[in-house]
Amino acid sequence: MDHYDIIIVGLGPVGLFAANVFGEKGWKVLAIEQHSERWKYPRAIGMDDEILRNLQTINLSSAVLPRTRTIKGLQLLRRDNEVFFTLSNPQDGDFEKGPYLFYQPEFESILEEGAKRFHNVKLLYNCQLESFNNVKNGVDVSCLDKNNPQFIQKFQGRFLIGCDGANSTVRNELGIKENSLNYNGHILKIDAIANDVSKFNFNIDYAQKYCSTKRAWVRMIGRDLHCRWEFQFKGENPDPNALTEESALRYIKEAGDDVENIEIINVSFYKYRSVVQQKWRDGNVLIAGDAAHLTAPYIGQGMCGGFRDIINLSWKLEGIINREFSRDILSTYRSERSPHMKHLIRIAISVGYLFKTRLYYILLFLKLIPFLKLNDGEFNPPVPKLGRGFFSKRKYSRGIFPQFKLKTSEGEVINSDDYLGHDWVLISSEAISDNDLRFCQRSGVKLMITDVQKDTQMKINNWLKEKNVKVVLLRPDKYIFSSGNQAQQVLNDYQKLNMNYR
């Protein structure tokens, strides 16, 4: 029986990302997929800047970024395709905030090739999960080799992670019940290739949603010449005739777009749901991505949620494997990620209600109120924090630390995440005591004392001043564990909480 540190079920984008994350750590990884090859049509289409940072941790952001297209945000339209509301998503830092649009088959190819960089990662296609059992300090797994149906392969892993989608075999075998947020629907999704995107008579720098109680729709121009339209259907039984290319062209034409400028590549109906599962872990078996949560597609956070799940798990599993934490640390996985995902799902539901019902009239009314400063139709939503878990209760905890472009003394421009590394990091604008320094050294906490005279640290120091704090402690996933004005207080919080998971 072959032994692995991590066994991943499902090789969609989240499973492939997980194979890269754990492979980069040097762990022995097995990733299995029941299909013979990757899905050839696009499904997910966008990511935000935090996901690009996640890709940066596995040295793939430089490969992905040139194959993306950045748009400015979301626009809501009403009759005659009039834009009446614009939604953007600014955050701290130097980076374009996205969304970054990509072409999923191309994106998955980059992830797959990335996983193949690591000799310690094995990707098995045509391999179907048959059964698994929690055992002491691990999971026994049986798989069917679909190339040889008589052959059952057996493996053992320290942990098994189900990244196997909305109909997850792992989740179903565990008998996990769901919490529905009671917002479901059907969408006709049309993907096409444009002859010339400049010929479209709408602002291609935004994803656009047409508000209507009868037939709401979404359109956007993705990477290169990739175009997408999504038409909303009510009820549980969409008309199968709408799946034809002829019907797809008719819907696009009714939206006011030039059908002579495009070539259809895929037409499909799909049902979306809004769900967060009640459990994300059973012993040494965990679920992530669509297996753990499902969202309406209106703010592009389905795949992104799965990437955040893996990043959240990665440093906690590393702590367990390195004997720094007990398995109890995994109790913070769902407690942190579930509230964050629920927040994003509710935002998606709100956007759905706004453009599929008459609620968009509320926005038209709010624009008339001067002090709300919505006359230009723009609104900047707050960025949600993670739920409670491995964090202190001090100011700014549970939020992600921004990334900056920094200039070294040699004149090289680097990303601050690369400068800070992937460890626990204490950032202080003042010198710390010898006792605090020794604690950092014993605990493996990297220390950075900011210096306003250094280009590499000036922007970080300015951020501390802006937030009126002198010290922040960052987790390996770049979320703020704690902040304050005294290093001793922040480190004491870390020491006390750390002891709970030994």
Kindly give, in sequence order, each residue whose CB lies less than 8 Å from that of residue 383, ignoring residues fewer than 6 positions away: 89, 91, 399, 400
* Residue among 43, 79, 22, 400 nearest 210 (CA): 79
- Residue 441 CB neighbour total at 10 angstroms: 10
Residue by residue, DSSP assigns 260-320 as: GGEEEEEEEEEEE--EEES-SEETTEEE-GGGTEE--GGGS-HHHHHHHHHHHHHHHHHHH
- pLDDT per position in the chain (502 positions), as tens? 799 999 999 999 999 999 999 999 999 999 999 999 998 999 999 999 999 999 999 999 999 999 999 988 888 898 888 888 887 765 566 666 678 999 999 999 999 999 999 999 999 999 999 999 999 989 999 999 888 877 889 999 999 999 999 999 999 999 999 999 999 999 999 999 999 999 999 999 999 999 998 889 999 999 999 999 999 987 655 666 667 888 899 999 999 999 999 999 999 988 999 999 999 999 999 999 999 999 999 988 999 999 999 999 999 999 999 999 999 999 999 999 999 999 999 999 998 998 888 888 777 777 666 655 554 545 556 779 999 999 999 989 999 999 988 877 777 888 889 988 889 999 999 999 999 999 999 999 999 988 766 767 888 888 999 999 999 999 999 999 999 999 999 999 999 999 889 8
**CB environment 164-177: b (16+ within 10 A), e (fewer):** bbbebbbbebbebe
Kindly give, in sequence order, each residue whose CB lies less than 8 Å from that of residue 5, ignoring residues fewer than 6 positions away: 22, 27, 28, 29, 157, 158, 159, 321
Cβ(23)–Cβ(113) below 8 Å: no
- Tokens, residue 262: 């495009």
Residue by residue, DSSP assigns 145-210 as: ETTSTT-EEEEEEEEEEE---TT-HHHHHHT--EEE-S--EEEEEEEEEES-GGG-SS-TTEEEEE
- Residue 450 has a pLDDT of 82
* Residue among 76, 8, 17, 9 nearest 44 (CA): 17
Sign of CA dihedral 19, 308, 207, 191: positive
Kindly give, in sequence order, each residue whose CB lies less than 8 Å from that of residue 54, ignoring residues fewer than 6 positions away: 17, 307, 308, 310, 311
- Residue 346 has a pLDDT of 95
Cβ(300)–Cβ(47) below 8 Å: yes
- Residue 90 has a pLDDT of 59
Q: CA dihedral defined by 245, 251, 85, 87, rounded to 10 degrees?
A: -20
Residue position matching structure tokens 């924090």: 385
- Tokens, residue 70: 């950045």
Domains of the chain, earliest start first: 2-71+97-179+277-341 (3.50.50.60), 185-272 (3.30.70.2450), 405-499 (3.40.30)
- Residue 264 has a pLDDT of 96
**CB environment 313-351: b (16+ within 10 A), e (fewer):** bbbbbbbbbeebbebebbebbbebbbbbbbbbbbbbbeb
Collapsed DSSP state (helix, strand, coil) of residue 218: strand
Cβ(213)–Cβ(275) below 8 Å: no
Strand partners, 206: 73
Cβ(473)–Cβ(396) below 8 Å: no
* Residue among 400, 484, 477, 488 nearest 436 (CA): 488
